[in-house]
Every structure is written in C-alpha cells, then in structure tokens.
Chains A and B, each alone.
Chain A
Amino acid sequence: MDRYSRHRSLVTDEAWARLCGTTCVIVGVGGLGSTVVSLLARLGPVRLDIWDPGIVDEPDLNRQLLYGASDLGAQKAVVAAVGIGLMNPAATVGSRCQAFSAQAYAEAVRDDGPPPSTVLFDCVDNIAARREIEESRRRWDVPVFHGAVEAWWGQVATLLPDGGGYESIYGADWSQAPPEQEGGRPIMPHVVTTIASAQIGEFLRWIEKPDLANAAHSLWYFDGRRLESTTVRLGPGTGAGG
C-alpha cells in the first residue's frame, strides 16, 4: 500500500501534481509551524523551506508538537528538519536558523525570485515578522496562509496576490494589531493545533482551486472555549482600523 493511499483519492490528479510541485515556505516552526510542517510532510513528497531563528524553550513544550524534552536548547529549524525527514524521507526540506525578512528572503531566492508555485505559511508570533511577510507577498505575488492565536482564540485567512493583504486583518498601517507581550502570550494548546490544521485546510482548498474566491477575502475565527467559529468577509483593501 502506498503511504498516501488514505487521502490520495480525495484530491484530483491536478491538485496532487500541484501539491508535489509547490514550495512551501514555513515562517516560524513554533506552535503553528510545528503542526503545519507535520501535516504537510504527511500529505505527500512536499518541498519545505523552514525559517526560524529560535531555540526550544521549556514553555514551548505545551504546544509545539515537533519537540520534546531532549530538544531543549536546540535550534528549532534543525530539529524540525530532522523530524520531518523521519516522518517522510521523500519530503525535501531546507532549514534556515534565521529570522525571516523580506531582504533575507530576496537574497535566498536571488535574482530569479521564488520557485514557480511558491506559497508562504505565516506561523509567526509577532507583528514585526508579519510586516516582513507582507512585504515579500507584495514583492513576489505569492499566496500567504495566515494563522494567529492567543489564549482561547485564533484566526485563519488566505491572502492571495490579487486580494487584500494584512491591512484587512490588522487595520490600515497595522493600527489594530495587538501590542507585543514580553514573555510570550498565553496560548491554549488545542487552539494552536486547530488553527494550524485550518491553515492546512485552506492550503488544500488552494491546491484544488488556486483562484478560490471563497477562501480568499475571508477571515475564520475560532473560539476554543465556546467551541464556536465564525467567518467574516474581508473587503478588498479593507482598512479595518479606525
């Protein structure tokens, strides 16, 4: 039996080819990123490019599923790459122990730009990194699968090249973005895995239909305490702030 036999029949041949031919840039392999890369690696012989400057700290172990006690103090990007290699040796993994920035990414892809069919997964834990992702999204016209969490809640959105960007989520000039929190934000583990799984769900919808209008221009909110969710539409170029 093929290792993908339990889900291969659920996607079209065209979608499968797109899955195998897409380069997935994972920005951050903390809580969201751990689950995102694990699910991607199990989906198929994917191409992953992992960016994370961090090391594994003890508070990470409540939700960052790639890591265990023996990984404390190790570089997340390195441990993640090793773990993915064990999960699926057919996956191609590049790991960079550095913070993602628009300039660093431009240098990484050099003059040719990103490989055809590149997507970014926003799995970061701060607004400054999202500003860098947004700059790259605009420069290279790549889709971004955005996820974010805090406490009992989280959100998911797909930002396509021809749609609105982060201003539709965080307000014009990022005016509605929450302030950074020293020592990290409180986060309930099941919310993290739910949001990361929803990012993969959005990615699969894009794989099936890259111009999917339904997934783009909408924001999915999840409440992990009430176990409720709601979807709202994002107007193109909406500045949510006031």
Chain B
Amino acid sequence: MNGTVSIRGFGPLEEVVPDGTVTLELPATSAAIRTALEARWPALSGVGYSLAVDQTIVGADEMVTDAGEIALLPPFAGG
C-alpha cells in the first residue's frame, strides 16, 4: 500500500532532499526504496549514503514494512 513518509537529507544531502514527505509503496526492500528515492531525486545517484528508517540504519536489502521517517545519511571520512 502507498504511505506518506517524512523524509530528511542530512548534511550535504539536505540540499538534495529538502525536508518534507514522500509517498512510498510499503512493504519494500531498502534497495527498492533507494531506487524510488533516486528516481525522485536523481542527484542522489552515485552518492554514498545510509538509509535510516525511524532512526535505525537498514541493511542493503532489508525489508521495510512500515516507516514514519526516512533519513539519508552520508558517511564522512575526514579527520
């Protein structure tokens, strides 16, 4: 079923994915969610980021049955 999910890009991704909502079909795998997000925001393609569903980072192909909020978190590497 389609659901409205809050979405947030963190750090440099806040300019790519502005705070707001997105409609997703759930349940879906995290890979399918990535595909849907990258279709909506093509600038996400090729950018490394983790997907956090309701404050928990999900695995590469994990099934997501429900989501209130999805955050996109790009890992940093500088020191």
Query: A residues bordering B, Cβ < 8 Å?
Result: 28, 30-33, 123-127, 130, 147-155, 168-172, 175-178, 180, 184-185, 187, 219, 221, 223, 230-235, 238-242
Specify which chain B residues have a CB less than 8 angstroms from the CB of A127 in the assembled complex: 77
Q: Which listed residue, A125, A152, A168, A169, touches B79 by the CB 8 Å rule?
A: A125
Specify which chain B residues have a CB less than 8 angstroms from the CB of A151 in the assembled complex: 11-12
**Docked pose: A25 CA to B34 CA in angstroms:** 38
Q: Most A CB atoms within 10 A — which of B11, B49, B74?
A: B11
Task: Tell me if B66 is interfacial: C-beta within 8 Å of chain A.
Answer: no
**Docked pose: A185 CA to B76 CA in angstroms:** 10
Specify which chain A residues have a CB less than 8 angstroms from the CB of B76 in the assembled complex: 148-150, 153-155, 178
Asked if B11 contacts A235 (CB within 8 A), the reply is no
**Docked pose: A191 CA to B32 CA in angstroms:** 34
Number of A-B residue pairs at CB separation under 8 A: 115
Q: A149-B76, A149-B78, A221-B10 are in contact. Are A242 and B48 (CB under 8 A)?
A: no
**Docked pose: A155 CA to B75 CA in angstroms:** 8
Q: Which listed residue, B58, B75, B78, touches A235 by the CB 8 Å rule?
A: B58
In B32-75, the 8 Å CB interface with A consists of 34, 48-52, 55-61, 71, 73-75
Asked if A125 contacts B77 (CB within 8 A), the reply is yes
Instruction: Sample 10 A-B pairs with CB under 8 A, ordered by A number.
Output: A126-B77, A127-B77, A150-B77, A178-B48, A180-B77, A235-B57, A240-B51, A240-B60, A241-B60, A242-B30
Give the Cβ gap from A125 to chain B, nearest Cβ, in Å: 4
Q: A149-B76, A178-B74 are in contact. Are A239 and B11 (CB under 8 A)?
A: no
Asked if B79 contacts A32 (CB within 8 A), the reply is yes
Specify which chain A residues have a CB less than 8 angstroms from the CB of B48 in the assembled complex: 170-171, 175-178, 241
**Docked pose: A150 CA to B11 CA in angstroms:** 9
Q: Which listed residue, A30, A130, A148, A219, touches B57 by the CB 8 Å rule?
A: A219
Other A-B pairs beyond A153-B10, A242-B51, 4, CB < 8 Å:
A32-B79, A178-B75, A232-B55, A242-B31
Specify which chain A residues have a CB less than 8 angstroms from the CB of B77 in the assembled complex: 125-127, 130, 148, 150, 177-178, 180, 185
Specify which chain A residues have a CB less than 8 angstroms from the CB of B52 in the assembled complex: 232
Specify which chain B residues have a CB less than 8 angstroms from the CB of A241 in the assembled complex: 48, 50, 60
**Docked pose: A234 CA to B31 CA in angstroms:** 17
**Docked pose: A33 CA to B50 CA in angstroms:** 26
Specify which chain A residues have a CB less than 8 angstroms from the CB of B51 in the assembled complex: 240, 242
Asked if A231 contacts B10 (CB within 8 A), the reply is no
Specify which chain A residues have a CB less than 8 angstroms from the CB of B10 in the assembled complex: 153, 221, 223, 230
